[in-house]
């Protein structure tokens, strides 16, 4: 990395971190990522209590120093359970967004660069998927495939790509009308190489900003499906499932459903703030 390039990255980072919202978002996202990776690498051993073991403390204890988020109806430590479930959310969002991103770029570029009949077919199929409410479609697919983390991920992957394809198509359409694409054609570069070298690098930025914003949405939808019991099966903890199984204690032990719900909200807000900040930074970076 040359000095020049380093300067550009530092400049961009400074631009991103001018807003306090983006700073907060970045902080939340970093904590989330660090926790997920740590738990995924070290497993249960780094948690204060075994998240699955019952009666590690009194039943329905309120939050204290021994049990930060209290204990549940079976005497399990809620904090350990929430932390243990963190990698699930990360895993699902990364895989779903990653696949949507790649499928979207591929289909979007094909549609935007060649246009014509292929474009029509692709865009009308995204319309069809858009027409059905996402959650209901994901639920139906998840029910057909059967409950479980992996199956639910498939369901989400099937419904998640259309906005990416549309965004990529619009951008590819815009970029392919730029002069340097015409120049590439006149210098005899193969169409596939033009796509790979000249179109895709120029459409990545808006897609990346959108994807960051979108991770929050995946986390919410994932939590929703998990709440409905379509994801990880008990006793393995999961944020959505915890909200659902603890909601009976909303009056007697309100911290039980509130802590997992608050964590879901925090992660979603974190990614939204970071995504917004990225978008703004990219826009003003492009202007300057």
Partner 1 sequence: MTENVLTVENLSIDYESNRGPVHALESVSIGIQPRSLTAIVGESGCGKTSLGLGVIGLLPMPPVKNINGKVWYKRVNLLDLDKEEIRRYRGTEIAMIFQEPITSLNPVYRVGQQIEEAIAIRDSRNNHKNTDANGRRSEIVASLNRVRIADAENVANRYPFELSGGMRQRIMIAMALAQKPSLLIADEPTTALDVTTQAQVLKLMRNLMNEVNTSILLITHDLAVASQVADKVAVMYGGEIVEEAEVNELFSAPFHPYTQGLLACIPTGSKAKARLKPIQGNVLDLKQKVNYCKFAPRCPHVMDKCWASKPNLRTIKGEHRAACYLHEKQ
Asked if 246 and 257 touch (Cβ cutoff 8 Å), the reply is yes
Count of residues near partner 1 by CB under 8 A: 18
Please identify, using beta-carbon distances, which residue of 186 and 252 lies nearer to partner 1: 186
- Restricted to residues 173-192, the positions that interact with partner 1 (CB under 8 A) are 178-180, 182-190
Q: For residues 9 and 180, which CB has a smaller minimum distance to partner 1 in the complex?
A: 180
Positions in 77-116 near partner 1 (CB under 8 A): none
Nearer to partner 1, 4 or 45 (CB): 4
Distance (Å, rounded) from C-alpha 69 to C-alpha 246?
13
Q: Looking only at residues 123 through 182 of this chain, which bind partner 1 when binding is defined by CB under 8 A?
A: 178-180, 182
Beta carbons of 163 and 213 less than 8 angstroms apart = no
Give the shortest CB-2-to-partner 1 separation in angstroms: 7
Q: Whose Cβ is closer to partner 1: residue 192's or residue 252's? A: 192
Q: For partner 1, give the closer residue by CB, 109 or 138.
A: 109
CA dihedral 115, 121, 125, 131 (to 10 degrees): 90
The 10 Å CB-count burial string (b at 16+, else e) for 148-172 is ebebbbbbbbbbbbbbbbbbbbebb
Omega before residue 52 within 30° of 0, cis: no
CB of 278 to partner 1, least distance (A): 17
4 contributes a contact to partner 1 by CB under 8 A:
yes
From 145-153, 196-204, 226-234, 269-277, give the range in contact with partner 1 by CB under 8 A.
196-204
Residue 235 contacts partner 1 per CB under 8 A: no
**From residue 28, how far is each of 66, 142, 215, 263, 270 by CA, in Å?**
24, 30, 13, 10, 5
Nearer to partner 1, 31 or 189 (CB): 189
Counting Cα atoms < 13 Å in the Cβ hemisphere of 287 gives 6
CB 257 within 8 A of CB 247: yes
282 is a site residue for partner 1 (CB under 8 A): no
Span near partner 1 by CB under 8 A; candidates 54-62, 131-139, 197-205, 249-257: 197-205
Q: Per CB under 8 A, does 285 bind partner 1?
A: no
Long-range pairs, 241-245, Cβ under 8 A, ≥24: 242/78, 242/81, 242/82, 242/85
Closer residue to partner 1 (CB): 128 or 188 = 188
Determine, following the binding rule CB under 8 A, whether residue 45 of this chain makes contact with partner 1.
Answer: no
CA distance 1 to 10: 12
Residues that bind partner 1 (CB under 8 A): 2, 4, 178-180, 182-190, 197-198, 201-202
């Amino acid at each position: 990395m040359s000095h020049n390039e380093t300067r550009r990255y530092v400049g961009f980072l400074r631009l991103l971190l001018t807003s306090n919202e983006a700073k907060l978002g970045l902080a939340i996202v970093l904590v989330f990522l660090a926790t997920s990776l740590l738990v995924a690498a070290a497993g249960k051993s780094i948690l204060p209590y075994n998240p699955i073991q019952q009666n590690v403390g009194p039943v329905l204890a309120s939050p204290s120093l021994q049990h930060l988020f209290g204990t549940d109806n079976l005497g399990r430590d809620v904090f350990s359970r929430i932390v243990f479930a963190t990698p699930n959310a990360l895993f699902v969002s990364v895989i779903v967004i990653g696949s949507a991103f790649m499928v979207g770029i591929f289909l979007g570029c094909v549609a935007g660069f060649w246009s014509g009949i292929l474009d029509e077919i692709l865009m009308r199929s995204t319309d069809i998927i858009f027409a059905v409410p996402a959650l209901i479609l994901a639920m139906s697919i998840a029910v057909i495939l059967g409950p479980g983390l992996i199956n639910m991920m498939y369901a989400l992957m099937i419904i998640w790509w259309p906005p990416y394809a549309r965004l990529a198509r619009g951008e590819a359409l815009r970029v392919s009308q730029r002069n340097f694409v015409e120049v590439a054609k006149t210098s005899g570069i193969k169409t596939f190489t033009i796509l790979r070298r000249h179109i895709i690098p120029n459409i990545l930025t808006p897609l990346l900003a959108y994807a960051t914003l979108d991770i929050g949405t995946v986390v919410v939808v994932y939590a929703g499906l998990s709440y409905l019991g379509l994801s990880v099966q008990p006793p393995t903890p999961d944020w959505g499932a915890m909200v659902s199984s603890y909601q009976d204690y909303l009056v007697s032990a309100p911290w039980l459903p509130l802590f997992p719900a608050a964590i879901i909200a925090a992660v979603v807000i974190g990614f939204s703030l970071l995504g917004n900040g990225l978008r703004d930074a990219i826009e003003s970076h492009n202007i300057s």
